[in-house]
């Protein structure tokens, strides 16, 4: 086993102080005053500094336990690379959300056996299904401050492009050094680049599907209930991590054995109740609470309305295709779900930022900051230029934003044949370089991942979907004004500024007919073979997707160069902006989420939803009965409805809540979370698993940009519903025995990873 240590708290003390909030009076659950949500997605090492506030909320445990990433409970928390999860047994069983296992369900589905609808349960280990190439489990084992190594002693006079080069080179060097011990290393910036940390993770490659309830449980309510309360969704599933018989993290092989984690969470059969203090441990994605107003304004007034329009249109196109072809329906199902989820959240953010007044609050906050800077001659001299310079970067990017967005869509749309072509072509250009001179995404450490992505793409790549989505994007390209034309596409397709819609449509249709008929990249073996080809060999194939990618490459590369220069400017300006914020607020500012391991805390609590309406903090099985219609998305399985009826008839269950006289399903809390937190372990004060975080309420999704301390609520599935479903609906007794039949940790020597 590689020896690892957690972050030295002495090096973190100034950083911790910078983020500790000013203490506020504790508000009990039963009160007529508004209850404030608890802002902050904290680094685990910061939690000990919050001990006094946690004690005021009723915490009697040891706050320093959260700082020990190799101890309990943090040693059980893992990332799936987009979702969060946790070990819940000594045999590598992993709990996460149902919506986080959709790609595994899709990978193993056929029109005759659609696991996305039916669900899946492995009764034995040999029945467990491989997730397919590219699936990973990441266990964070150490965090180390490397700020001086990354940005220390940089020449303040460096040009922005040169500054980017210098920082990128240092990040690559630090990453390479950190991975010499066999771990996966990430260098992450915090607080607008003021601080940098090295995150070391064990990377488990063989991940298998163990159990997922039917869609009528795991996705009960579908898009109708998405981001809504009350919820009755059993958003939970289980994976298992596998390693070689020698204990090494290796690729999938039948002879691999379950991974033995040092720590796993005890699953509480008592769940969470109103007023309980809870913690959420996971990997939140991104928040933008510290971003300057100009950038937030552009996001809310341009990017988000554009997302709403495009998602709405693309959903309609893909749903029509899905109705026509079951195979296509399976291939595009995860993309559709992502589009729906993004659409609903984006609409909620726009509503909150405008109608909720959060955008106006951001503007007022920044005006107050500027006034504070101007009020002191020294502050003005030191920092008066920072916000104007940051705003200039936003304005510069806005000048060609629509053209650049469309170019990115056409040249490398995610999950499309053009996306595959762009990856293959760029890899051929990067490979001849030395590893330190390659783009980070194309360094040798990522080659196996790139290949796995091309392999896995076979289960979602669909020529019909590509055609309708590319037609949609190219129709928008045809509408670009004369000053922002994409010349390569105009030439290849036969477009021109001012061309009529019908004429442009005919040209696009003819072009796509030739493009899609002339590429072999829909074949997995061809894509994988291309990974080993030189640029010259690729071009010699005369594949239409490769040739179009090559023609667009100078334009996409020019945009990447512009982005690098802007990043260099941000490296120069961001830390100065952070220093202003910290000074203005006396250090009481929390760091934005950035995809790294965080801990949030709060209480199980309802909320006044609107005038005359209060949301209760829990839902029960009764709500499932009331909502069930027998049709999607309220198609509760017959077995579940029968189990509820049996409960009503007097069948005993240890998961009944005596206060509710029913089995709890979901609950609300004041915990601060965001995308990426899906599947996060919800812990009680003993560190026991009492639920899984899976959503937030529609009224508070704008908190990614401006935290709403009164209305913010997160939604969790209660462990009592999880365990009841496993026992009474799906008969997952093998997993119940595994989860609750053994102690939570071991002291035996661990295998080498």
pLDDT more than 70, % of the chain: 93
Of 586, 618, 646, which residue is a domain's last? Answer: 586
d(CA 561, CA 555): 10
The answer to whether residue 8 is domain-embedded is: no
User: Based on the domain organization, do 368 and 472 belong to the same domain?
Assistant: no
Q: How far apart are the C-alpha atoms of 415 and 338, rounded to whole Å?
A: 12
One domain, residues 578 and 722: no
340 is catalytic: no
Q: Using one digit for the tens of pLDDT, what is the confidence trace for 251-304?
A: 999 999 999 999 999 999 999 999 999 999 999 999 999 899 999 999 999 999
Per the document, the length of the chain is 753
Residues 570 and 506 in one domain: yes
If asked whether residues 194 and 330 sit together in one domain, one would say: no
User: C-alpha 358: how far from its chain's center?
Assistant: 23
Q: Is 86 among the domain residues? A: yes
Please tell me the distance from the alpha carbon of residue 660 to that of residue 536, in angstroms, as a whole number. Answer: 69
Is the per-residue pLDDT at 32 higher than 80?
Answer: no
pLDDT in the model for residue 699: 84
Q: Is 98 a catalytic residue?
A: no
> d(Cα 609, Cα 612) in Å, to the nearest integer?
8
State which H helix or E strand residue 724 sits in: helix 719-724
Q: Which of 235, 276, 462, 708 is catalytic?
A: 235
Residue 287 lies in a domain: no
- Structure confidence at residue 36 as a pLDDT band (50, 70, 90): low
Q: Which domain holds residue 364?
A: 303-382
pLDDT (0 to 100) of residue 717: 98
Co-location of 324 and 359 in the same domain: yes
Helices (H), 355-446: 358-374, 377-383, 386-398, 401-412, 417-430
Whether residues 502 and 476 share a domain: the answer is yes
Checking DSSP bridges between strand 613-615 and strand 618-620, what pairing results, if any?
A: unpaired
Q: Closest Cα to residue 589, out of 598, 581, 600, 597?
A: 581
Please write the tens of the pLDDT for every residue from 484-539: 999 999 999 999 999 999 999 999 999 999 999 999 999 999 999 999 999 999 99
Examine residue 6 and state whether it is found in any structural domain, yes or no. no
Share of the chain above pLDDT 90, in %: 86
**3-class DSSP state for residue 452?**
helix
pLDDT at 610: 82
Which of 529, 552, 586 marks a domain boundary?
586
Q: Does the pLDDT of residue 550 top 70, yes or no?
A: yes
For residue 609, the model assigns a pLDDT of 84
CB count, 10 Å around CB of 400? 14
Q: Does 353 lie in the same domain as 318?
A: yes
E-strand spans in 248-406? Answer: 257-258, 277-282
Residue 741's pLDDT band, with cuts at 50, 70 and 90, is low
Which residue is catalytic, options 135, 428, 678, 714? 678
Residues 578 and 598 both lie in one domain: no
Residues 524 and 547 grouped into a single domain: yes
pLDDT 10s digits, 334-366:
999 999 999 999 999 999 999 889 899 999 999
228 shares a domain with 168? yes
Return the pLDDT at 414: 81
Q: Taking a C-beta distance cutoff of 8 angstroms, is the pair 272, 690 a contact?
A: yes
pLDDT value of position 588: 56
Q: Is the pTM higher than 0.85? A: yes
Tokens of 430: 């990067």
Catalytic residue among 38, 79, 91, 99: 99
Task: Tell me the C-alpha to C-alpha distance, in Å, between residue 188 and each of 194, 198, 527, 595.
Answer: 11, 6, 32, 9
User: Within a domain: residue 515?
Assistant: yes
Judge whether 235 counts as a catalytic residue: yes
Q: Is pLDDT at 752 greater than 80 in this prediction?
A: no
**Same-domain status, 229 and 330:** no
- Domains in the chain: how many in total? 4
- Inside any domain, residue 421: yes
What is residue 81's three-state secondary structure? coil
Residue that terminates a domain, selected from 528, 557, 586: 586
* 43: in domain: no
E strand or H helix at 482, and its extent?
none
- Please indicate, yes or no, if residue 189 is contained in any of the structural domains: yes
Based on the domain organization, do 405 and 353 belong to the same domain? no
Interatomic CA distance for residues 219 and 560, integer angstroms: 39
Q: Is the pLDDT of residue 147 over 90?
A: yes
Please state the rounded mean pLDDT for residues 132-160: 94
CB-count exposure of residue 280 (10 Å: 0-12, 13-18, 19+)? buried
Per-residue pLDDT at 171: 98
b/e map 561-578, b = 16+ CB within 10 Å: eeebbbbbbbbbbbbbbb
């Amino acid at each position: 086993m590689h020896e690892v240590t957690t972050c030295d708290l002495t090096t973190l003390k100034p950083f911790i102080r910078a983020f500790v909030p000013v203490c506020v009076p504790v508000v009990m659950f039963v009160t007529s005053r508004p209850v404030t949500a608890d802002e902050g997605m904290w680094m685990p090492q910061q939690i000990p500094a919050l001990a006094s506030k946690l004690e005021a909320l009723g915490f009697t445990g040891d706050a320093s336990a959260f700082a020990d990433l190799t101890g309990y409970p943090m040693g059980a928390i893992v990332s799936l690379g987009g979702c969060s999860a946790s070990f819940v047994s000594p045999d590598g069983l992993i709990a996460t959300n149902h919506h986080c296992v959709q790609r595994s369900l899709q990978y193993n589905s056929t029109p005759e056996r659609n696991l996305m609808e039916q669900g899946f349960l492995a009764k034995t280990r040999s029945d467990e299904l491989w997730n397919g190439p590219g699936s990973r489990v990441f266990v964070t084992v150490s965090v180390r401050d490397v700020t001086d190594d990354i940005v220390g002693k940089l020449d303040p006079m460096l040009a922005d492009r040169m500054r980017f080069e210098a920082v990128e080179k240092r990040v690559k060097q630090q990453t390479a050094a950190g991975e010499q011990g066999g771990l996966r290393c990430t260098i992450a910036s915090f607080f607008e680049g003021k601080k940098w940390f090295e995150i070391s993770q064990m990377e488990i490659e063989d991940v298998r599907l163990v159990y997922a309830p039917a869609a009528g449980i795991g996705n009960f309510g579908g898009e109708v209930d998405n981001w809504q309360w009350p919820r009755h969704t059993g958003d939970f599933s289980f994976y298992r991590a596998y390693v070689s018989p020698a204990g090494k993290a290796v690729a999938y092989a039948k002879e691999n054995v379950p991974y033995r984690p040092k720590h796993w969470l005890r699953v509480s059969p008592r769940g969470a109740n109103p007023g309980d203090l809870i913690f959420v441990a996971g990997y939140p994605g991104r928040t933008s609470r510290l971003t300057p107003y100009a950038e937030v304004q552009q996001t809310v007034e341009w990017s988000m309305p554009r997302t709403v329009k495009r998602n709405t249109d693309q959903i309609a196109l893909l749903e029509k295709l899905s109705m026509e072809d079951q195979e296509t329906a399976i291939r595009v199902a995860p993309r559709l779900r992502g589009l729906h989820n993004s659409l609903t959240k984006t609409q909620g953010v726009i509503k909150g930022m405008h109608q909720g007044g959060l955008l106006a609050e951001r503007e007022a906050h920044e005006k107050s900051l500027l006034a504070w800077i101007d009020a002191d001659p020294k502050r003005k001299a030191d920092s008066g230029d920072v916000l104007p310079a940051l705003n200039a970067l936003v304005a510069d990017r806005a000048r060609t934003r629509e053209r650049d967005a469309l170019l990115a869509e056409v040249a490398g749309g995610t999950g499309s044949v053009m996306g595959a072509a762009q990856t293959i072509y760029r890899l051929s250009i990067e490979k001849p370089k030395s590893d330190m001179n390659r783009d980070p995404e194309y360094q040798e450490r990522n080659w196996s991942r790139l290949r796995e992505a091309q392999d896995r793409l076979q289960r979602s790549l669909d020529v019909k979907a590509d055609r309708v989505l590319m037609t949609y994007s190219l129709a928008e390209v045809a509408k670009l004004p004369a000053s922002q034309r994409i010349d390569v596409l105009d030439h290849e397709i036969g477009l021109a500024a001012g061309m009529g819609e019908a004429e442009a449509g005919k040209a696009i249709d003819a072009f796509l007919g030739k493009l899609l008929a002339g590429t072999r990249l829909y074949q997995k073996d061809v894509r994988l073979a291309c990974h080993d080809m030189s640029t010259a060999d690729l071009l010699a194939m005369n594949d239409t997707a490769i040739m179009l990618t090559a023609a667009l490459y100078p334009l996409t590369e020019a945009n990447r160069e512009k982005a690098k220069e802007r990043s260099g400017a941000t490296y120069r300006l961001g830390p100065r902006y952070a220093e202003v914020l910290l000074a203005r607020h006396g250090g009481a500012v929390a760091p934005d989420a950035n995809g790294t391991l965080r801990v949030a805390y709060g209480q199980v609590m309802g909320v006044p939803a609107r005038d005359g309406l209060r949301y209760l903090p829990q839902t029960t099985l009764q709500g499932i009965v009331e909502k069930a219609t027998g049709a999607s998305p309220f198609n509760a399985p017959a077995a579940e409805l029968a189990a509820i009826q049996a409960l009503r008839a007097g069948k005993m269950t240890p998961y009944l809540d005596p206060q509710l006289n029913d089995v709890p399903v979901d609950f609300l809390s004041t915990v601060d979370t965001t995308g990426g937190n899906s599947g996060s372990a919800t812990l009680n004060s003993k560190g026991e698993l009492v639920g899984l975080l899976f959503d937030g309420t529609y009224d508070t999704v704008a908190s990614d940009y401006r935290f709403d301390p009164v209305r913010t609520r997160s939604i969790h599935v209660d462990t009592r519903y999880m365990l009841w479903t496993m026992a009474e609906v799906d008969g997952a007794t093998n997993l119940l025995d595994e989860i609750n039949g053994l102690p939570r940790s071991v002291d035996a020597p661990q295998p080498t990873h």
